[in-house]
Amino acid sequence: MSGGPRLLIVEARFYDAITDELVRGAVDALTRHGAGYKRVIVPGILEIPAVIRFAVRAMELRATDMRFAGYIALGCAIKGETDHYEHVCTQSMNGVQKMALQYSLAIGNGILTCPTEELAMSRARVSEGNHGGRAAEAALRMIAVKKELGL
């Protein structure tokens, strides 16, 4: 167990290869900063905000001794032939932002919304876009900002 902050990584496994890269980048960044983490797997990006809320509620109820200083949302939506993509992207992004604002949470959003699988993989790869690592860095920075502001 590290001495740094502990974060919850919520990973949507709909596109496994892309999510694997996102998680790899996030874990690398957290490890570099001495942060601990727990991973929770959900089926798709729509479920990510609910799991973040579950974790907050469990802490409120003292139903668990697991406390998280921040959260990392990882997953991917790729545009298909119907408008389902737009709804899923909008709802998941709004849900993550709502959790951050309503509960003053430090969240790094690494949910990719891409027109093609190739673009998503490029953004996810640690050697290219490293959006998982960037989401982890964002969450860590937001944790620091909360501390700076006395939260």
pLDDT number for residue 2: 55
pLDDT number for residue 3: 80
pLDDT tens column, 11-48: 999 999 999 999 999 999 999 999 999 999 999 999 99
Is residue 26 within 8 A of residue 136, CB to CB? The reply is yes
* CA distance readout (Å), 59 to 40, 62, 65, 115, 130: 16, 5, 7, 37, 30
| Percent of the chain whose predicted confidence (pLDDT) is above 70 | 99
Question: If you compute the radius of gyration of the chain from its CA atoms, what whole number of angstroms results?
Answer: 15
The answer on pLDDT for 99 being more than 80 is yes
The answer on pLDDT for 141 being more than 50 is yes
pLDDT number for residue 137: 98
pLDDT number for residue 82: 83
Is residue 11 within 8 A of residue 75, CB to CB? The reply is yes
What domains are defined for the chain? 6-148 (3.40.50.960)
Q: How confident is the model at residue 1 (pLDDT cuts 50, 70, 90)?
A: very low
Name 8's Cβ contacts closer than 8 Å, sequence gap at least 6.
37, 38, 40, 52, 55, 68, 70, 71, 72
Catalytic residues: 84
pLDDT number for residue 81: 85
Of residues 66 and 8, which shows the higher confidence score?
8
